[in-house]
Amino acid sequence: MTEKPVAVNRKAYHDYFIEETLEAGIALSGTEIKSVRAGRVNLRDGYVMFRGGEAWLANVHISPYDQGSRENQPPLRDRKLLMHRRQIVQWQSRVQERGYTVVPLRMYLKQNLAKVELGLARGKKLYDKRAAMAEREADRDIERALKQRGRSWERDE
């Protein structure tokens, strides 16, 4: 199965600890799917809310289709997510009980259907973000040092 990436929410990995992921379909109008195929999607501030036993993707910006007419939908409207009932109930209870939130991680096309990868997320504190940045920096320094040593060994032989 081929997956064509459309948008990635890099900020989600910076702001949250992602505990679990799930694939969900998304109900789009005709002009919206054309914009998605063109890659005109912004997931940065998006989140999932549960209402009436359904899951809704909120605050995700899908730009209006250029060649569309009055059929164009508002860019920030709520869009219904297509999930199994038991998944909705399970994730909704975890959000209510444990203080998690559900955020979109990436959107992609799978067999010409728009899919969203959702993450059950717990917010990071400022010190968590600093620790993650320090760890990345240390890993970079180690890689750099190993690369330098590898070059010096090659010259010695």
| Each residue's pLDDT tens digit, 69-123 | 776 777 788 999 999 999 999 999 999 888 789 999 999 999 989 999 999 998 8
Please give the mean pLDDT across all residues of the chain: 86
136 Cβ neighbours under 8 A, 6+ residues apart: none
Q: Cβ(26)–Cβ(114) under 8 Å? A: yes
In the chain, % helix, strand, coil (3-state, to 5) comes to: 40, 35, 25
The tens digit of pLDDT for each residue in 47-84 reads 999 999 999 999 999 888 777 677 677 778 899 999 99
Is the pLDDT confidence value at 156 over 70? no
Q: At a CB cut-off of 8 Å and minimum separation 6, what does 114 contact? A: 6, 25, 26, 28, 33, 36, 107, 108
pLDDT, position 1: 60
Give first-to-last CA distance, the chain, whole Å. Answer: 47
DSSP for 95-152 reads: HHHH--EEEEEEEEEETTEEEEEEEEEEEPPHHHHHHHHHHHHHHHHHHHHHHHHHHH
Rounded mean pLDDT, 119-130 = 82
45/47 Cα distance (integer angstroms): 7
Q: Is the confidence at residue 154, as pLDDT, over 70?
A: no
**Position 114, amino acid:** A
Percentage of residues in the chain having pLDDT higher than 90 = 38
